[in-house]
Amino acid sequence: MLTRRLLPILALFATLLAAPAAVAAPPGGECPPGQTDCWVYDEKPGKPGGGDGGGNNGGGRSKCYRAGEEVPCFDEVWGWLGSDGCYYKMAEPQLPSPDGSEGDWYTRTCLGGAAQNVWLTTPPGGLPDPEPIAQALAAVTLAEPDIHFKPDQGPGLVGLPVWLWVGQSPNTWGPVEASRSEGGLTVTINARVTGLTFKLGDGKSIECPTGGTPYPKGAKGPSPDCGYAYQKAGAYTITATTSWTVDWESNTGISGTITTERTDSGDIQIDELQVVTR
């Protein structure tokens, strides 16, 4: 593909539907060392695909066009089709930032041009959006809180300590990691609970960022970090809500953070103190 060089700047002006025409091969085109005569087949320069794996579509988009011609949204060698009509992939391996700015090195392959590395502080436009995949992945990975409270065998008493906590497994509390690949796009999520709220059912709620402490058998006093004492007798529904922070990243170089919540509930009966002492 080195045979038809295109000034990189031209690529900036290329658009999805009006990509520049391929430049004719200069005499004695340049191939990688050891890949002499690499232009010998070039009946359609810069045309992606060929062989297997070229026809996968990038996540989220069903069809891509360039210069009026349908092209794969994802190419196994070139990566994803950007909105400028060039393909982009993360450069392998990454080098440090050239100027201290935040960003990534991408390898860009434009129609008829040789692959070049470019430093981009924002991902190229037009790449598939990994966020819906991150959301779908979070939906199946993150479970509702494993709610516990004491007393739970029989009623509690007005003014006496209620202990509240949640079980802390990867899927109910984190940290938990999961990833999914669709058509060359790989999305990885890294999720953890960053907040826990118990609604006590009497209009009050408490925050328990630590997740609370499991009630040790025979303990007398209140929970050290997540307790409550009801002031009135009654039947209450306790609702635990975990707030998840989900960091996601994709192999397109795009990353982000989403937040989501999970809830579960249980019922508690609170009796007047004299009911028991009677």
Partner 1 sequence: MRMQHLGRAGAALVAVILVGGATACSTSDKSSNSAAAAPAATASNDAEAAKASKAALAAYKGYLTASRVASLDPDPKHPDLTKYVADPLLTRVRDAVRDLKTHGAVRTGKLASDPHVTTVDLAAEPPTVSIQDCIDSTGYKMVYANSKKPVPGAAGGRFVATATATRYPDGRWLISDGATHEDQPC
Question: Are the C-beta atoms of 138 and 246 separated by less than 8 Å?
Answer: yes
Q: In the complex with partner 1, which residue's Cβ is closer, 95 or 140?
A: 95
- Residue count at the site for partner 1 (CB under 8 A)? 39
Strands 255-271 vs 156-157: parallel, antiparallel or unpaired: parallel
The one segment of 14-22, 56-64, 84-92, 268-276 that binds partner 1 by CB under 8 A = 84-92
Q: Shortest distance, CB of residue 68 to partner 1, whole angstroms?
A: 23
Q: What is the DSSP string of 216-256?
A: PTT--S--SSSEE--SS-EEEEEEEEEEEEEEEEETTS-EE
Question: Are the C-beta atoms of 15 and 87 separated by less than 8 Å?
Answer: no
Residue type present at position 141: T
Q: In the complex with partner 1, which residue's Cβ is closer, 109 or 250?
A: 109
Cα distances from 72 to residues 1, 14, 24, 227, in angstroms, run: 18, 17, 23, 57
According to the binding rule CB under 8 A, does residue 176 interact with partner 1?
no
- x-or-dash string of contact with partner 1, 98-137, rule CB under 8 A: x------x-x-x----xxxxxx------------------
According to the binding rule CB under 8 A, does residue 186 interact with partner 1?
no
Q: Shortest distance, CB of residue 211 to partner 1, whole angstroms?
A: 38
Close Cβ partners of 23 (under 8 Å, ≥ 6 residues apart): 4, 5, 6, 112
Strands 176-182 vs 185-199: parallel, antiparallel or unpaired: antiparallel
DSSP single-letter state for residue 92: S
Question: Binding to partner 1 (CB under 8 A): which residues in 12-41?
Answer: 27-38, 40-41
Q: Shortest distance, CB of residue 26 to partner 1, whole angstroms?
A: 8
Q: Shortest distance, CB of residue 72 to partner 1, whole angstroms?
A: 13
Q: In the complex with partner 1, which residue's Cβ is closer, 44 or 204?
A: 44
Q: In the complex with partner 1, which residue's Cβ is closer, 29 or 170?
A: 29
Q: In the complex with partner 1, which residue's Cβ is closer, 34 or 218?
A: 34
Question: Are the C-beta atoms of 159 and 276 separated by less than 8 Å?
Answer: no
According to the binding rule CB under 8 A, does residue 56 interact with partner 1?
no
Q: Shortest distance, CB of residue 116 to partner 1, whole angstroms?
A: 5
According to the binding rule CB under 8 A, does residue 10 interact with partner 1?
no
Q: In the complex with partner 1, which residue's Cβ is closer, 38 or 136?
A: 38
In Å, how far from its chain's centre is CA 75?
A: 22
Retrieve residue 226's tokens. 């997540």
The kind and range of the H/E element at 116 are strand 116-120
According to the binding rule CB under 8 A, does residue 76 interact with partner 1?
yes
Site residues for partner 1 per CB under 8 A:
1-2, 8, 27-38, 40-42, 50-51, 76-78, 89, 91-93, 95-96, 98, 105, 107, 109, 114-119
